[in-house]
Amino acid sequence: MSAKTRQLIAVAVAHVTQCPYCIEGHTKHRQLRKA
C-alpha cells in the first residue's frame, strides 16, 4: 500500500471518528505530502 493511500485512509478514519485533532493533523500532513 502506498504512502498516499495510507494517508488518505487516515484522513477518512479521522472524519469517521470526528476527532478534530486527528482531522487537522492528517489533513495538514496530506497537504504537505501532496497526497
Predicted TM-score of the model (pTM) = 0.66
- Residue 15, CA distances (Å) to 19, 27 in order: 7, 10
pLDDT at residue 7 in the model:
83
Provide the domain limits for residue 29.
3-33
Number of domains in the chain: 1
pLDDT at residue 35 in the model:
52
pLDDT tens digits, 1-35: 888 888 889 889 999 999 999 888 877 876 776 65
Q: How far apart are CA 30 and CA 12, in angstroms?
A: 11
